[in-house]
Structure 1
Amino acid sequence: MTRTRDRQGSALLIWGVALAAYLLAVFHRSSLAVAGLEAADRFGISAAQLATFTTLQLLVYAGLQVPVGLALDRYGPRLLLVSGAVVMTVGQVCFAFVESYPLAVAARVLVGIGDALTFTCVLRLVATWFPTRRVPLMTQLTGATGQVGSIVAALPMTWAFSHWGWTNAYLAAAGVGLVVTLLVVVVVRDAPGQWRRPGSAISVAFVRRSLSASWRHPGTRLGFWTHFTTQFSATTLALLWGYPFFVRGEGRSSHEAGLLLTVLVVALVVAGPVLAAVTTRHPFHRSDLVMGIVLAMVAVWTAVLVWPGEAPTWLLVLLVVIVGIGAPASIIGFEFGREFNPDARLGTAIGIINQGGFIASLLLVVAIGLVLDWRTPPGSDYTPEAFRWAMSAQYVLWGVGLANIFRSRRRTRQHVAAAPETGTAAT
């Protein structure tokens, strides 16, 4: 009994420190969201160029997920968590001082690299340290609690920019990174009784087998498309376009825009454990729940975009709440990946799935910037009409995602029916 309590205590401590690293990653990722207009003035750039910051950050994040998954299976999560925290800290220090657009882009790429090394490692630690029955809840708590970093990047960073200025605000953010790095070094272990638990050596044949086996199972693809379809709306609002949309598109003050983004994150945090409880109790309806949440997002966005004039406050609050629920819904995709892949290639499967939402977010961030520049006369501010056109790009991604969720679910059930040992039909 004592040894079990000690193991549980160690698991919670290690999870808490790893969660702090993920919270830091979300904070760094989101720290530009409330500084979009200041960045445009500081670097003298257009909407499309402003979107490049987030575009490259997301591109780096999505592009590194499979390599990170492979490295995770090989080197373990502790080494990758430390590396990620260090790289993000360096990126924020650079971003604090640069004054040219190309150097600023390079600094945000560093943030993207460090961010890419973090979340997958935390999920691997959860799967290693906690009993199987608790993994869905701890995974949702990880995703939900980590998003508190977005709150830290909203109201407090808005205050920091206005009182401390650009450089000091970002240096303060980097200082937090040093503290978290030290905590990871001192506390985190790969597995019980092991500071590090490396896996098989990486070779071309290993990479080919691992990627092929993971993607070949339709359950992994179901996880990918679940993540793709549910996450992008919340990510795009939180990372870049939410603040300008509420200020320029809906006529809200800076304070109101910051509060709306905070409500989005609060909805995300509250919804995560609720969704974990629902999916644990009703595993055969997880994909139905996902599709229902997506359709709710489509409905509320449609109401906002077709509303004559500025949408009322209650509708904007409903928007950020529903969109916020979409982010923890994307975590359900990792449940499919964990269920249909053995431990030896779990990191690879998680990396593949984690690409989905960020690929979709990348496409949407670029599309919004291009459409805004297309619909806004040169030298003019963004207009509500331009934002309505730009935000409508989401419908294409929702259509593609829903079609592939439906198809992957059908193929997963067929696959499991033919080979029951590869998983369950609880999709």
Structure 2
Amino acid sequence: MNRENLKTRDEQIKKVESYRWVVWTILAAVYIFVTFHRMSAGVVKNDLQQAFSIGAAQFANIGSMYFYAYFIMQIPSGILADKLGPKRTVSMFSILAAIGSVVFGLAPNIGVAYVGRFLVGIGVSVVFICLIKIQSRWFYSRNFALMIGFAGLAANLGAILAQTPLVIAAQKFGWRNTFVFMGLAMVVFAALTMIFVKDDPKDMGLPGMDELENRPAVSANIKVMPALKSIITNKRTWVISLAYIGLYTGYVVFLGTFGVSFLMQAYSLTKVKAANYVISAVIGSSVSGLIIGYLSDRFKNRKIPLVLSTTLTLIGWIILIYTRMPLSLLTPFLFVFGFVMTGFTMCWTVGNEVNDRRLSGMATGVVNCVGFLGAAVIPVVMGNILDKYKNVPAVGYEKAYFVLIILMAVSTAASFFSAETRGKNIYQEK
């Protein structure tokens, strides 16, 4: 290759390495909306119970409608990401999520509220998998875990918005107006996605990651059923999914469903103060994704971070539910708790590395499917227990969270049997 061609090649690589951040930032911004809606129900729990005259179980169903939809859509989301491409998939479904948010905000009764939350869940269900797909097509494979950490940072920005800022917005503008506004804002980002996002550098006439990393080109001609069969029959997929379910379900329950109300009851806190303590866990989670991802990539190790995360999270749950620490220790404890529970980001990485790399969307979808099943079912089970013990809420929370602790113990055991990939794709076709 002569000097002129080398210069052109270098310029193309620089364009890839700069424009990829435009693509990633837009989808990461959309992902903020995803986690805002995921975590928002717990903070406006009292408002929703008052507006619709419902108990803890029906409230949990409002949250779970999102997760039922998300669960249903995980494998289809992977297929859409792999076949249709992230740009068109996110653009179309973001409009559906926006409609759902507006419907939820204007809901005259609990039935319409369920429909709104379900539409939101369907609409946002595609975003994370499309973000992972974009990262696999625009970023070097050596930075995969780190980029998942950055995705986690975007997620936690949404979770932060769904804590104290949501409390303040709901008090000032009303919870209904807040959700209507979030729906309208999402329309703007759907438009930005359609205009600026590209599925692959090759769509701009630039060299793709396959070429830059000297690896075989990925074909878009993927046969869906054989692809799903290869993922579902892979034992390593199920092991990492079991490790994921306890970590992720706990993350959702504490940050999005019963965390604020539990702290209010256990420590006699106001809603704003309880939400501020939950933000400590969110900040720990934000830092965790970046640090764990960086260290995992740096030392080419996936299993040790995952085992440590599941084990320490299990211990953390037992301490949080069955002890009462001084308030001065609650903030640092919750920061560390949020940090260790976010080891579930390793599960997405390993799920991709133990399956055919062409199927990153579907592999992530299958792993997510298991986690979101837990996030849909467990809060409803917990809500029924809380309703049963509504006259003795302290006992109710202990019994409700015991269900989650059992699930977390299963995930901890599974993490010890997870595959160590050393930061490489170890899938071998039979």
Same-fold status (TM-score > 0.5): yes
Q: 1:420 to 1:399 in 2, by over 3 A?
A: closer
1:233 aligns with 2:250: yes
- Find the counterpart in structure 2 of residue 278 from structure 1: 295
Cα contact 1:234–1:323 (8 A) shared by 2: no
CA distance in 2, matches of 1:305, 1:28: 26
- Find the counterpart in structure 2 of residue 265 from structure 1: 282
- Find the counterpart in structure 1 of residue 127 from structure 2: 118
**Amino acid corresponding to residue 313 of structure 2 in structure 1:** M
1:322 aligns with 2:327: no
How big is the shift at 1:147?
1.6
- Find the counterpart in structure 1 of residue 76 from structure 2: 67
- Find the counterpart in structure 2 of residue 368 from structure 1: 382
How big is the shift at 1:360?
2.1
From 233, 243, 265, give the equivalent of 1:216. Answer: 233
Cα contact 2:354–2:427 (8 A) shared by 1: no
Give runs of aligned pairs for residues 348-359 of structure 1, distance below 5 A.
348-359=362-373
CA distance in 2, matches of 1:60, 1:422: 32
Give runs of aligned pairs for residues 289-300 of structure 1, distance below 5 A.
289-300=305-316
- Find the counterpart in structure 1 of residue 428 from structure 2: 422
**Amino acid corresponding to residue 428 of structure 2 in structure 1:** T
Contiguous gaps of at least 5 residues in structure 2: 1-9, 206-217
SS of the residue corresponding to residue 147 of structure 1 reads helix
Q: 1:85 to 1:421 in 2, by over 3 A?
A: closer
CA distance in 2, matches of 1:105, 1:326: 32
- Find the counterpart in structure 1 of residue 211 from structure 2: none
Please, which moves more after superposition, 274-283 or 104-113? 274-283
CA distance in 2, matches of 1:152, 1:198: 39
- Find the counterpart in structure 2 of residue 199 from structure 1: 220
What is the alpha-carbon root mean square deviation over aligned residues? 2.4
- Find the counterpart in structure 2 of residue 338 from structure 1: 352
CA distance in 2, matches of 1:62, 1:212: 18
CA distance in 2, matches of 1:48, 1:28: 19
**Amino acid corresponding to residue 258 of structure 2 in structure 1:** W
- Find the counterpart in structure 1 of residue 7 from structure 2: none
**Residues 59-92 of structure 1 deviation map (CA, whole Å, 9 limit, x = unaligned):** 2112210111122221111111112211111011
1:164 aligns with 2:173: yes
**Residues 18-63 of structure 1 deviation map (CA, whole Å, 9 limit, x = unaligned):** 1111111111222222101110000000110000011121121122
How big is the shift at 1:326?
4.1
- Find the counterpart in structure 2 of residue 404 from structure 1: 414
- Find the counterpart in structure 1 of residue 50 from structure 2: 41
**Amino acid corresponding to residue 9 of structure 1 in structure 2:** S
Cα contact 2:93–2:123 (8 A) shared by 1: yes
Cα contact 1:97–1:167 (8 A) shared by 2: yes
Please, which moves more after superposition, 397-406 or 363-372? 397-406
Q: 1:323 to 1:234 in 2, by over 3 A?
A: farther
**Residues 158-193 of structure 1 deviation map (CA, whole Å, 9 limit, x = unaligned):** 111111113222222122212211111111011113
CA distance in 2, matches of 1:9, 1:89: 30
CA distance in 2, matches of 1:376, 1:65: 35
How big is the shift at 1:305?
2.5
**Amino acid corresponding to residue 243 of structure 2 in structure 1:** T
**Residues 245-301 of structure 1 deviation map (CA, whole Å, 9 limit, x = unaligned):** 1112331111211101211111111111110122113334x2232122222122222
Cα contact 2:353–2:426 (8 A) shared by 1: no
CA distance in 2, matches of 1:193, 1:295: 43
How big is the shift at 1:227?
1.9
Cα contact 2:69–2:122 (8 A) shared by 1: yes
**Amino acid corresponding to residue 22 of structure 2 in structure 1:** L
Cα contact 1:249–1:385 (8 A) shared by 2: no
**Amino acid corresponding to residue 220 of structure 2 in structure 1:** G
Cα contact 1:94–1:107 (8 A) shared by 2: yes
- Find the counterpart in structure 2 of residue 301 from structure 1: 317
**Amino acid corresponding to residue 224 of structure 2 in structure 1:** V
CA distance in 2, matches of 1:401, 1:137: 23
Cα contact 2:246–2:404 (8 A) shared by 1: no
Please, which moves more after superposition, 160-169 or 104-113? 160-169
How big is the shift at 1:403?
2.9
**Amino acid corresponding to residue 422 of structure 1 in structure 2:** Q
CA distance in 2, matches of 1:334, 1:244: 30
Across the two proteins, how many residue pairs are aligned to each other?
A: 407
Please, which moves more after superposition, 37-46 or 362-371? 362-371
Contiguous gaps of at least 5 residues in structure 1: none
**Amino acid corresponding to residue 208 of structure 1 in structure 2:** M
CA distance in 2, matches of 1:186, 1:198: 24
SS of the residue corresponding to residue 198 of structure 2 reads coil
Cα contact 1:160–1:169 (8 A) shared by 2: yes
CA distance in 2, matches of 1:65, 1:27: 19
Q: 1:357 to 1:157 in 2, by over 3 A?
A: same
**Residues 402-421 of structure 1 deviation map (CA, whole Å, 9 limit, x = unaligned):** 333334449x99xx9xx977
